[in-house]
Structure 1
């Protein structure tokens, strides 16, 4: 199984990195911002840089759609996992078109309101994971796995 881990740098990247017991023995690669924290944390990992800043940016979305297309056609992952933010959206939609399985993990600090990314990918994911039972009021089809922290 090949796994694509996609997310913004900072807290989103840290959140995905904490899933290491799952991905460490699998063929995997990362897509994140080319920033110091990502380069440091992923120095021994295969990483593709994406365009940023992404928040509510049509320019970033268009650039990241091109990056998404190229990366997914080159790597052909079986599974894409993300916890946001905006860079996950093109990876999930194009991945869905390619038949890739999708798992989205809603962020830890959003308990009673959806994130924009969560709202956008919720309808198409194979599994939507929340970390708080309260989040199931926002995402009724979600699976609550509890905190990974």
Structure 2
């Protein structure tokens, strides 16, 4: 017969991995930390000149909003990774136009196209398959990069969800240090988008553009309309 002490030892051995996972989540999961008072809308740290910033673009107005948000950032001080979804050629064109208008092009810029997570009006079974393909496509694209970004800027296209979660998982395992910054779309006045709800727990900074949302969601930062 197995003694009580042996059972206790087995239970502890089984619990140790679970405890370690929970402790690691406490360390890396932003949602378990108190929101800090930032005091301004400078969502880029001032001491990261020459680091890499990833910018997620998206159809349906997301790219237009992101381009306007970037007016607050001295993008020429960063290596840039522009990301768009498959089938979204217009966003890539706008990214390249933005690059041409930069004052200097000393640092690098590259373009990634990820499999689109979900199309508008797509059925639930089909969207599940698309999302899985998007996770695979995103993972394969990220591991081929020479360097993972120091920061990723997101504002709501569906493909940003696999991107953010893969970066968070890599951060969980100590393979990345990417800060995830999510800026909710201006169109979201009373409630978050689905992307926003999914990314609220894992975003290092979560910025909304309407005070109603800031009052409703504890971790949300509000600085007025940014676009």
CA 121–53 in structure 1, closer or farther in 2 if over 3 Å, else same: closer
- Any stretches of 5+ residues in structure 2 without a counterpart? 1-50, 100-108, 172-177
CA-atom RMSD, angstroms? 1.9
The aligned runs of 1:1-149 (5 Å cut-off) are: 1-21=51-71, 22=73, 24-25=75-76, 26-33=78-85, 34-43=87-96, 44=99, 46-52=110-116, 54-55=118-119, 57-75=127-145, 76-99=148-171, 100-149=178-227
CA 23–30 in structure 1, closer or farther in 2 if over 3 Å, else same: farther
Instruction: Answer 1 or 2: which has greater strand percent.
Output: 1
- Any stretches of 5+ residues in structure 1 without a counterpart? none
TM-score for both structures, normalised by structure 2: 0.60
Instruction: Answer 1 or 2: which has greater helix percent.
Output: 2
Instruction: Tell me if the contact between 1:82 and 1:104 (Cα under 8 Å) persists in the aligned partners.
Output: yes
Please tell me whether Structure 1 or Structure 2 has the larger radius of gyration of its CA atoms: 2
Residue 71 of structure 1 and its aligned partner are, at CA, apart by 2.4
Residue 23 of structure 1 and its aligned partner are, at CA, apart by 5.4
- Within 2, Cα distance between the matches of 1:9 and 1:141? 27
Query: What stretches of structure 1 move > 6 A for 4+ residues in a row?
Result: none
- Within 2, Cα distance between the matches of 1:77 and 1:105? 17
Instruction: Tell me if the contact between 2:58 and 2:88 (Cα under 8 Å) persists in the aligned partners.
Output: no
Between 72-81 and 128-137, report the one with greater CA deviation: 72-81
**What is the DSSP-based 3-state SS (H/G/I as helix, E as strand, rest coil) of the residue aligned with 1:18?**
helix
Q: Deviations over 1:17-47 (max 9, x none)?
A: 2233415221111111343421321235632
